[in-house]
Amino acid sequence: MGRISTAALFCVLLFTSVLAAPAPASSASGAPTVSDASAAQPSPTTPLIKDDPNDVIPTTGTVEPIRGSLGANILGPDNQPMDQQNPDLLAPPTTDQGTVGNAKWPFSLSHNRLQTGGWARQQNEAVLPIATELAGVNMRLEAGAIRELHWHKTAEWAYVLKGRTQVTAVNPDGQNFLATVGPGDLWYFPAGIPHSLQATNDSAEGSEFLLVFDNGDFSEDSTFLLTDWLSHTPLSVISKNFQVNSDALLNIPAQQLYIFPDAPPPSDAQAPADPQGQVPSPFAFSFSSVNATQYSGGTAKIVDSSTFAASTTIAAAEITVEPGAMREMHWHPTQDEWTFFLSGEARITLFAASGNSRTFNYQAGDVGYVPASFGHYVENIGNTTLHFLEIFNTDHFQDVSLSQWLALTPPALVKAHLGISDDTFNHFNKTKQVVVGPAKS
């Protein structure tokens, strides 16, 4: 009998194993399910993933650029408080590779514009170059203080952090609007719509809020202000425009006010009577009263133009993540994500394709940024609830769940990629989990 070649023997064994493979099981409904048999192993074309979990490095005591056997301690000058806030930059996980632009900006590093009655500090492309689609401003108004009448080239979306704020606006059709918004509530003014903001005295401290603009190059210092315009217009022209004697206009400020103190507005303030009527879609939304969806690791609620009709260029999600849990691995197909951390500690790894990834750590008051289609997660690495906002330059919120994608893909195809068992595949969920709890032991 002739000798059988190695290739021929392999083909015989492979054909035999195919014939012996059991048929897929069916559920009570008749739909095929994945059995508990071991997954077929793919050809060893690449090394397998390492078993190093790459957990976050403890930040108690001195933090050093050492991970396992890699790195060494710092001999020269060191900024330990900064290192302790960013341990995954100091000692990156071994899974980090290549180049990803900086995706973190603390508002604490922003220049603060101090005014009588409040302050404002901003983040834009000038300080965070990766953030090309959205910019943010953190603003504080003492009780009664006014952010003067103004408008922008971009839309303005706001989330109230503390206190209550009265907002007013008039649209191009001459329809007006007035509302008072509280913590967790929103307002939105389309580009070019004139508006004002004034802190009420419902709280002795006034109000504080987060503003987001749908252009990364936005600057809060380049808005169109009422007093700035009039102070740069001949008095005779202003007099002619309003059809009043110029003597009646001599108290107009000679330069912009921006933020200035005033008496708080009455709690029952109403918009002036308007022959054109009120705006058809309110510019404010009571997001605080929306019920959040509970998941195994936290909560989520979403707002976009489907629920807040006026907000045609900004969509958002408000997320909470319990200790040890995480915002599941996902990506946003076409829109960059501008993230603001309200409380807690987080870790995010950005996957930028072509072997590029980088891990960042975040604390309350930080801005994060994730370019469109970058795979990422948000892990709670602290001991308290993580609370943050995901904000997008779009009218409709979208994300793609990694687990859901794989669960809805033919099992054999997924197993051929990942070398996993049927039991492991069955843990992938066909519905989005959004926030998942700690892994089961």
Q: What is the structure's pLDDT at 267?
A: 85
Partner residues linked to 337 by β-bridges: 370, 392
Does the annotation list 332 as a binding residue?
yes
Does the annotation list 427 as a binding residue?
no
Residue 2 lies in a domain: no
Dump pLDDT digits (tens) for 295-325: 999 999 999 999 999 999 999 999 999 999 9
Does the annotation list 148 as a binding residue?
no
What is the band of 441 on the pLDDT scale with cuts at 50, 70, 90?
low
- Which residues span the domain enclosing 137? 110-285
Dump pLDDT digits (tens) for 12-47: 333 344 333 444 444 333 344 555 445 555 566 789
| Catalytic site positions | 390
Residue 66 lies in a domain: no
Same-domain pairing of 302 and 431: yes
What is the C-alpha separation between 85 and 63, in angstroms, rounded?
10
Dump pLDDT digits (tens) for 344-368: 999 999 999 999 999 999 999 999 9
The CA dihedral of 86, 90, 93, 96, to the nearest 10 degrees, is 100
Domain count, the chain: 2
Same-domain pairing of 238 and 341: no
Residue 341 lies in a domain: yes
Same-domain pairing of 362 and 296: yes
pLDDT at 158 over 60: yes
Same-domain pairing of 279 and 295: no
Same-domain pairing of 275 and 387: no
Q: What is the structure's pLDDT at 203?
A: 84
Same-domain pairing of 340 and 406: yes
What is the C-alpha separation between 115 and 244, in angstroms, rounded?
31
What is the band of 138 on the pLDDT scale with cuts at 50, 70, 90?
very high
Same-domain pairing of 130 and 265: yes
Q: Which of 285, 314, 329 is the last residue of a domain?
A: 285
pLDDT at 242 over 90: yes
**What's the predicted TM-score (pTM) here?**
0.90
**Tokens standing for 414?**
């997924």
Q: How many residues does the chain have?
A: 441
Does the annotation list 417 as a binding residue?
no
What is the C-alpha separation between 165 and 199, in angstroms, rounded?
4
Does the annotation list 111 as a binding residue?
no
Residue 371 lies in a domain: yes
* Mean pLDDT, rounded, for 211-231: 97
